[in-house]
Amino acid sequence: MNLRKKIVSNSLSGVFQAIVNVILVFTVVPIFISKLGIEEYGLFSLIIIVGNLNVFTNLGLSTTLLKFISEQGKIKESNYDLVVAVFIVILFLVPILLAGIIFNKFILINILGVPTHNFQNSKILYLFLMGANFFLVLGQIFKAVLDGLQRIVLTNFLQILYNIIYWILILFVLLLGYHLPQIGMVAFLSAFIWFILIVFYTLNFWGTIKLDGLKNNFRRVIKKQISYAIKIYATGLISFFSEPLMKIIISNFIGISDVGFYDIALRFRNQLLALLNKLYYPLLPVIAGMKNIEKIKLYVDDIEKKALNFIIPLIIVISYTTIPFVKLWIGKNVDIISFSIIALVSAYLIFSITVVPNYQFLITKGYPQKTIILKSINVFTNIVLTVMLFNWLEYYSVIFGNVMGVLSSFLLSQYYQKKYLDSFIFDNWKQVSKLLVLAVVNLGLAYLLNLILISNWAKLIIIPIILSLSNLLLFRHLKLFTKEDIFRYLSKNIKIKSTLENILIKSS
């Protein structure tokens, strides 16, 4: 399979995986809230922070391993990298897990702010999640091997299977009238099944792991991995002081129910971003394996610009359909949840998703320390603004801090892109003017439809359809795509190529 077909098939499988997860999440969450209440959902949202344990124990080794295997292929050195990565993760993972288990009461009550009357059920959920994370964290090493071998379709399939088991079993637990402890059991079982499968397929595709000579190279390989991974690790570690810390702040100073509101907005944002990131993810091993900087520049610059053509209309659709969606989906606390979703999703789409290719370039081509700075300025801005405005805006200070944090990292990302790739996402005024036309037409059309349509269902269905059709016409009229774009990214197949040209490109 050639590079183009691999990228397309890997991206599509990732999108399918993300869509399945979106359906599962948005099916189960309202049932969760309906059966157990917003406070217990807030507790669940708070305690699953322990899922961020992989930030402390993975050490950035999964991304590092993916980079090395993408560059080296399946050679003896890659065998060494795999075994050493597993050894290092276990070495760090076990003590942290034990400490988390031993000090569970202190963590739950004094750090997370769990009310004492909820402690017992919360403790059982917490302990099961700690066990589940052992398998999830260690499994990331084996997933990195498969991704490095361009088996991304397989890892996406296994992730789909994990999500189905996890959410369907939670649904059964809720419908049977059980609570947080049983949800913890589900999380543990799902993680264990996924781990067994990911290890099985990794060993199947990798073959015999050759360890001859490892003893003499052990220290060298550890040093090589740690020296690169520690920079990626620092990036992930800094990320912990974003979402999890915000949940802890809300729990301790505002209330458990508000953690639930914030988590719903985050889930909405994260599910959409996960779907879009799946489109980008296959580029990671591709960029990692590229040697020609001009070719990398072409991919990074062009994909960022093309992404804006879709992201701007998407933001407008989300802005006008979120309120009717939340009314139909949850039906309570509509204003606070809707505002949170629109603000977070819009900010991350325009300021984060657009620059993913540049982030991939930095992390795989020798500049991982720059991603540390990007994450740092995001988190620093977020925390400072939240603390400064907390007494005035309360819960909304968290949302404002999130938005300004991602904006600050976007601006710095563009500085790095200009410095290392000599490109900038808005370096073409003709492109910018076309984007403005795209935004104005979409805003006007969405506003009119919102006035005309009364039913929430009608708004949810008709606004996206009308804007999608109108944007196809705008793409053609504004000449936002060329025949070279279709050839480069989508297909060489004459029939598919001709169909896409007829849809996206205005005949001259």
Q: Say what the pLDDT of residue 494 is.
A: 60
Where does residue 332 fall: left (phi above 0), alpha (psi -120 to 50 degrees), or beta otherwise?
beta
Q: Residues 26-61, buried b or exposed e (16+ Cβ, 10 A)? A: eebbbebbebbebbbbbbbbbbbbbbbbbbbbbbbb
| Spatial distance between the Cα atoms of 275 and 20, rounded to a whole number of angstroms | 10
Cβ neighbour number for residue 153 with a 10 Å cutoff:
19
149, 285 contact by CB (below 8 A):
no
Cβ neighbour number for residue 201 with a 10 Å cutoff:
19
| Spatial distance between the Cα atoms of 271 and 147, rounded to a whole number of angstroms | 21
Question: Could you tell me where the DSSP H helices lie in 212-255?
Answer: 214-239, 243-253
| Spatial distance between the Cα atoms of 265 and 495, rounded to a whole number of angstroms | 41
DSSP single-letter state for residue 277: H
- C-alpha distances in angstroms, 496 versus 92, 172, 470, 491? 50, 43, 22, 7
DSSP string, 440-457: HHHHHHHHHHHHH--SHH
Q: Say what the pLDDT of residue 122 is.
A: 86
DSSP single-letter state for residue 74: S
Q: Say what the pLDDT of residue 165 is.
A: 93
Cβ neighbour number for residue 433 with a 10 Å cutoff:
11
| Spatial distance between the Cα atoms of 344 and 346, rounded to a whole number of angstroms | 6
Say which residue the tokens 């959410």 belong to. 167
Q: Nearest Cα to 46, choosing from 136, 131, 118?
A: 118
Helix 334-351 with 293-329: angle, nearest 10 deg: 170
Residue 334's SS3 state is: helix
Q: Nearest Cα to 397, choosing from 408, 377, 381, 375?
A: 381
Q: Say what the pLDDT of residue 323 is.
A: 94
381, 404 contact by CB (below 8 A):
yes
Q: Containing H/E element for 426?
A: none
No. of helices (H) and no. of strands (E), the chain: 22, 0
Residues of the chain below pLDDT 50: 1
| Spatial distance between the Cα atoms of 251 and 244, rounded to a whole number of angstroms | 11
Tell how far CA 343 is from the center of its chain: 17
Q: Say what the pLDDT of residue 226 is.
A: 78
The distance in angstroms from the start CA to the end CA of the chain is 34
Q: Nearest Cα to 57, choosing from 125, 142, 135?
A: 135
Q: Say what the pLDDT of residue 276 is.
A: 81
378, 406 contact by CB (below 8 A):
yes
Count Cα neighbours of 292 within 13 Å in the Cβ-side half-sphere.
4
